[in-house]
Amino acid sequence: MRQVFSKVLWVWLLLTVSQLAPAATVDNDQDAEAARALLEKALAYYHDNGDKAFAAFSRQGQFIQDDRYVFVVDTKGVMLASGGPSAALIGRDVSEVLGPDLRQAFEKALKTPEANGIQEAEYRWQNWKDGKVERKRVYFQRVGERILAVGYYLPRASAEQAKALLDKAASDLQKDEKGTLTAINSLKGGYLQDDLYVFVVDLDTHRYVAHGTNLRLVNVDFTTIKDPDGKPVGEPILALMAKQDSGEYAYRWRNPVTSKVEDKHAYLRKVGHWVVAVGYYSR
């Protein structure tokens, strides 16, 4: 029988798996450290208790921390333990629901020697706390025929991802202005990615013509826009872009994923008489 992850990973990876990589990937975020530490704690507990540990993993207690929890599947696709919503899948073999691409990806991961230690994968799934689809990373390690794992959500995209989305939006706008603006405003076309979104301002009218998360801003005078502390945002951006074809601007703005006001760094580009912008958030 093919060695594949169970339905819990299919469910979590329903939207897309973006990568499988060694756990040495740089990630110093506190959430990452906490998730990895929880997995290491679970691995030690499993080492001492074997399959008897499943009961502890599946109930409220030391192996559940906020939205982080331990889950265990076997290499045949059966869920063995879970401290989260996937507990409803315990005992079920649902490996066949995995598509061929996912089967191939996880079969490759499962062939990794145990001595290689903890591995990681990144994907997108609905956060059961706020109901939003967010990026999530899982740390996992195979121990014999068991795979122990802990995941955590990634509410902040990177600068590189923001630049990539700006490149896409600018290129698409050059090819099809009307279609691209319509797609941005209708949340289609990939212009909204977690906490990353595109907005476009008309340099002739100084008004928003598209916004990836807030349609109420469309047709609003960009010169009137200020941050939550009252600091101008629209005027300095327009002044900057009147002198150059691209630029950057830092300000504070509400993160649509965390719903908190955070520091934001926007990348700006002039496309015809439009200013296209995408920004990323930091803590």
Residue written as tokens 């076997």? Answer: 74
> Is pLDDT of 134 > 70?
no
pLDDT of residue 93: 75
In angstroms, the CA 68 to CA 236 distance is 41
DSSP string, 223-277: GG-B-TTS-B-HHHHHHHHTT-SEEEEEEEEE-TTT-SEEEEEEEEEEETTEEEE
pLDDT of residue 76: 81
User: How far is CA 29 from its chain centroid?
Assistant: 14
4/13 Cα distance (integer angstroms): 13
| Sequence ranges of the domains in the chain | 7-154, 159-282
Contact call for residues 259 and 243 (beta carbons, < 8 A)? no
Q: What is the DSSP letter of 43?
A: H
Task: Check: CB of residue 6 under 8 Å from CB of residue 73.
Answer: yes
133: pLDDT confidence band, cut at 50, 70 and 90?
A: low
Report, as an integer, the average pLDDT of 84-106: 65
Predicted confidence (pLDDT) at residue 123 exceeds the cutoff of 80: no
- Say what the pLDDT of residue 129 is: 64
Q: What φ, ψ does residue 247 adopt, rounded to 5°?
A: -175, -175
Domain 7-154 has CATH 3.30.450: yes
Higher-confidence residue: 122 or 229?
229
Q: Which of 199, 182, 259, 185 lies closest to 234 in space, CA to CA?
A: 199
Q: Is the pLDDT of residue 155 over 90?
A: no
pLDDT at 48: 97
Q: pLDDT class for 104, splitting at 50, 70, 90? A: low
CATH of domain 159-282: 3.30.450.20
- CA 34/CA 42 separation, integer angstroms: 12
Q: Please tell me which of 28-42, 66-80, 157-171, 250-264 the model is most confident about, judged by mean pLDDT.
A: 157-171
Query: What's the pLDDT at 125?
Result: 61
The mean pLDDT value for 138-164 works out to 87
Q: How confident is the model at residue 26 (pLDDT cuts 50, 70, 90)?
A: very low
Q: What is the mean pLDDT of residues 164-170?
A: 96
pLDDT at 86: 74
d(C-alpha 44, C-alpha 147), whole Å: 13
Distance of CA 183 to the CA centre of its chain: 21
Residue 18, amino acid = S
Cα–Cα distance between 162 and 212 in angstroms, integer?
13
pLDDT above 70 (res 226): yes
Reply yes or no on whether the pLDDT at 83 is more than 60. Answer: yes
| pLDDT value at 45 more than 60 | yes
Domains 7-154 and 159-282 share a fold: yes
